[in-house]
């Protein structure tokens, strides 16, 4: 039986491309693996898949105790496939904090403080002496561009940018031109419902005794997105009730000007006010210079939960 490779629920570009890249790497190392995904492909990622003429991984929603799996771009069980606690986790390659994770058997675990899983996978190709084909190089470069917002995010390290430019050369990409078009493709959300908007890139985090969901929506106009505030709030209330959340934070991020507007609902909105030293007005606040959920949002909220 093939080992299943997948990223987190509500997959973003790094999650999908890292799945495809890890599958390629493991196949070339002689292992039987299959690329999977735990949700729909967003518009940015679909732009990338179309550009490189590659199909999305197979959609699954659960694993069993009979499954052997490789996790990329995540480790937290509440972000993974249903049943993950029963599966045999063979390997994890990630760039996030370690939380809510345990296994019954030893495994290969690699996590590095870089901006993108694609950067780590690039190093793994080189370490194993495996030639990187242009398509795989393009997928990794795209993931780095996405996670770093074209090198603007504080999560971006010199290692990420160096890897991205080397990969782009292999793939024949102009980083700035391709990167901007790719990011813009992901912000065309006019035909998305409120449910779809909040599901583009959403993760649940345990924070103290609270359960918090943080959804991030990238845009080129916060003002346009805020015209749908009432609609988003109604959907947020429904999700809070459905999942028993203490807090839901929708982060609307301007990828051009590097600011975010948050819409916050739940019985622990004080976490947001304390974390960012802001006063919520009509459930919202502007977070100047904040673009990274991983580095600028989650750690500060976690410390104030």
How does pLDDT run across 200-230, given as a tens digit for each residue?
A: 899 999 999 999 999 999 998 999 999 999 9
Q: Return the residue matching tokens 């918090």.
A: 212
How does pLDDT run across 22-81, given as a tens digit for each residue?
A: 999 999 999 999 999 999 999 999 999 999 999 999 999 999 999 999 999 999 999 999
- Written out in words, the top-level CATH class of the domain with range 3-187 is alpha beta
CATH number of 194-303: 3.10.310.20
pLDDT at position 104, please?
Answer: 86
- Torsion sign over Cα 50, 52, 58, 61: negative
- The answer to whether 290 and 216 have CB atoms below 8 angstroms apart is no
pLDDT exceeds cutoff 90 at 182: yes
Give 298's pLDDT tier (boundaries 50, 70, 90). Answer: very high
**Where do the domains of the chain lie?**
3-187, 194-303
Rounded to an integer, the average pLDDT of 147-152 is 94
Burial of 226 (0-12, 13-18, 19+ CB in 10 A): middle
Q: What is the reported pTM?
A: 0.85
């Amino acid at each position: 039986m093939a080992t299943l490779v997948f990223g987190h629920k509500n997959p973003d570009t790094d999650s999908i491309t890292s799945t495809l890249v890890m599958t390629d790497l493991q196949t070339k190392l002689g292992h039987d693996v299959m690329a999977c995904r735990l949700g729909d492909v967003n518009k940015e990622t679909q732009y990338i898949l179309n550009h490189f003429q590659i199909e999305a991984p197979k959609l699954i929603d659960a694993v069993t105790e009979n499954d052997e799996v490789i996790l990329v771009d995540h480790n937290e069980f509440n972000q993974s496939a249903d049943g993950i606690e029963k599966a045999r986790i063979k390997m994890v390659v990630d760039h996030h904090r370690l939380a809510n994770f345990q296994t019954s058997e030893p495994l290969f675990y690699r996590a590095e403080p870089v901006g993108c899983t694609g950067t780590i996978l690039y190093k793994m190709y080189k370490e194993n002496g495996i030639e990187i084909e242009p398509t795989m190089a393009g997928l990794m470069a795209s993931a780095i561009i996405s996670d770093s917002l074209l090198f603007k995010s504080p999560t971006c390290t010199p290692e990420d940018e160096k890897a991205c430019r080397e990969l782009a050369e292999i793939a024949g990409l102009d980083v700035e031109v391709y990167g901007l078009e790719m990011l813009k493709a992901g912000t065309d959300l006019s035909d998305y419902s409120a449910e779809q908007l909040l599901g583009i890139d959403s993760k649940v985090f345990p924070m103290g005794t609270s359960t918090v969901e943080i959804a991030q929506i990238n845009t080129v106009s916060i003002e346009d997105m805020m015209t749908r505030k009432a609609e988003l709030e109604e959907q947020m209330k429904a999700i809070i009730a459905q999942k028993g959340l203490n807090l839901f934070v929708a982060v609307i991020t301007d990828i051009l000007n590097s600011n975010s507007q948050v819409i916050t609902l739940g019985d622990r909105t004080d976490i947001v006010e304390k974390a960012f030293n802001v006063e919520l007005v009509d459930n919202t606040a502007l977070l100047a210079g904040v673009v990274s959920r991983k580095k600028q949002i989650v750690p500060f909220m976690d410390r104030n939960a």
